Chain A
């Protein structure tokens, strides 16, 4: 499922993670740690300026059935990656 930017921004966020200034693998580890703390169905978002994280995080959570990637909003050079824990 991939939601529009507007739909993503209207979601109620349960956990917001700060990945600004981080690079791999920290951006991925922040997401994995955040998902560990979340409950099933909760929305976890990571804000990052590391562009490749928009590929690695969705791929990792999908491959390992940890979360659903709902979409990514790009604004002012930052990326907000929306995940729903499975």
Chain B
């Protein structure tokens, strides 16, 4: 697992993800916040395309035996999924970006999101040191209802059955709303939104990028692992504390010890490499399109970056998983827990949009009210 080839493969995946996420400014917070507040469904459509592509991709991988059911990421089900999801949604809305968003924006030169990432890692470690000695028994076990995760693939149906039904229903809803010609026009537009040099183009169509992200994640699922961000970030945090206090601090903590259970030592593995190279991919993409700039945050926004990041770090361990793990690997794997986490995240973003930022919720306004 820890050969040089695997590390190189992980770095390549990271660069591709970072490049694509930056090209579409693919922000999961915006997909919910902008839809409910100003009825902008642009990124929301991208998230739906990403989910659909992942479901078809995972289904095909299982059908053709390229991956096994045991590789599907499905975590235990419980109230922790909902609470963790809500807290993660609140955290990312306050911080101004999701877990993957913080990575690609760091590569674009946003110093604010380096702070968010540092706070997230601190939050990951905070959870670990609450989990052991008392959080596991006092909090996590009472609210986790099942010992194992459950994927709808475990129902025993042919693997492509449910992905085709769910994606088919999604397409029917779109066709009902926009008509067949509107749907086909949308597909055509998403593939033809090009200027002279695509690599220098500032933004690519978010639906096209979502499709490519889904394909990339499927290939990663087959060749390497399920995509995740906050798990590897927790290990990066473990490596940092072990460098300062020695490896025993990791081995003596039940949660951190488990995180490194499959590792030969406390160190950075392929998944951590992938996450680090997401930043590199976004840097390359933003330099090519002249979107890179060292951006200094306003001082008054720093408490939100730190507080939101900390909350994301704790919540991502509770749920578990971040936006990208649950939306791509979770939905692709038809995991029940991930669906609950995603609902929680949407609730969290909505609460912050309405009650913290006090933004207008135009989605529910009639036209004359909105005007």
A interface, CB within 8 angstroms of B: 21-26, 28-29, 32, 49-52, 54-56, 59-60, 63-66, 77
**Can you give 12 A-B contacts (C-beta < 8 A)?**
A21-B296, A22-B301, A23-B112, A23-B301, A24-B27, A25-B33, A25-B96, A49-B295, A56-B34, A56-B40, A63-B38, A64-B371
Q: Please, which residues of chain A bring their CB within 8 A of the CB of B108?
A: 51
Q: Please, which residues of chain B bring their CB within 8 A of the CB of A28?
A: 34, 37-38, 359
B interface, CB within 8 angstroms of A: 25, 27, 29-30, 33-34, 37-40, 42, 96-97, 105, 108, 110, 112, 202-203, 290-293, 295-298, 301, 353, 357, 359-360, 362, 367, 370-371
Q: If A52-B30, A64-B371 touch, does A21 touch B40 (CB 8 Å cutoff)?
A: no
C-alpha gap A23/B97 in the complex (Å): 9
C-alpha gap A49/B112 in the complex (Å): 13
Q: Please, which residues of chain B bring their CB within 8 A of the CB of A66?
A: 371
**Does A60 lie within 8 Å of B202, measured CB to CB?**
no
Question: Ordered nearest first, which 3 A-B pairs have the shortest CB separation?
Answer: A77-B293, A60-B38, A52-B25
**Does A65 lie within 8 Å of B295, measured CB to CB?**
no
C-alpha gap A63/B298 in the complex (Å): 29
C-alpha gap A22/B334 in the complex (Å): 37
Q: Which single residue of chain B is at the shortest CB-CB distance from A77?
A: B293
Given contacts A23-B112, A24-B30, A59-B38, 18 further A-B contacts (CB under 8 A): A21-B296, A23-B105, A24-B27, A24-B96, A25-B33, A28-B38, A29-B357, A50-B295, A52-B27, A55-B25, A55-B42, A55-B203, A56-B34, A56-B40, A59-B34, A60-B38, A60-B40, A64-B371
Q: Please, which residues of chain A bring their CB within 8 A of the CB of B357?
A: 25, 29
Q: Please, which residues of chain A bring their CB within 8 A of the CB of B33?
A: 24-25
**Does B27 lie within 8 Å of A29, measured CB to CB?**
no
C-alpha gap A49/B293 in the complex (Å): 8
Q: Please, which residues of chain B bring their CB within 8 A of the CB of A60?
A: 34, 37-40
User: Which one of B30, B295, B301, B357 has the greatest number of beta carbons of chain A within 10 Å?
Assistant: B295
Q: Please, which residues of chain A bring their CB within 8 A of the CB of B39?
A: 60, 63-64
C-alpha gap A52/B353 in the complex (Å): 18
Q: Please, which residues of chain A bring their CB within 8 A of the CB of B298?
A: 21-22
Q: Please, which residues of chain A bring their CB within 8 A of the CB of B293?
A: 49, 77
Q: Please, which residues of chain A bring their CB within 8 A of the CB of B292?
A: 77
C-alpha gap A50/B293 in the complex (Å): 10
**Does B359 lie within 8 Å of A59, measured CB to CB?**
no
**Does A25 lie within 8 Å of B37, measured CB to CB?**
yes
**Does A51 lie within 8 Å of B202, measured CB to CB?**
yes
Q: Please, which residues of chain A bring their CB within 8 A of the CB of B110?
A: 23
C-alpha gap A28/B105 in the complex (Å): 18
Q: Please, which residues of chain A bring their CB within 8 A of the CB of B30?
A: 24, 52, 56
Q: Please, which residues of chain A bring their CB within 8 A of the CB of B353?
A: 25
With beta carbons under 8 angstroms apart, the residue of B38, B42, B97, B295 that contacts A64 is B38
**Does B371 lie within 8 Å of A65, measured CB to CB?**
yes
Q: Which single residue of chain B is at the shortest CB-CB distance from A53?
A: B25
Q: Which single residue of chain A is at the shortest CB-CB distance from B297?
A: A21
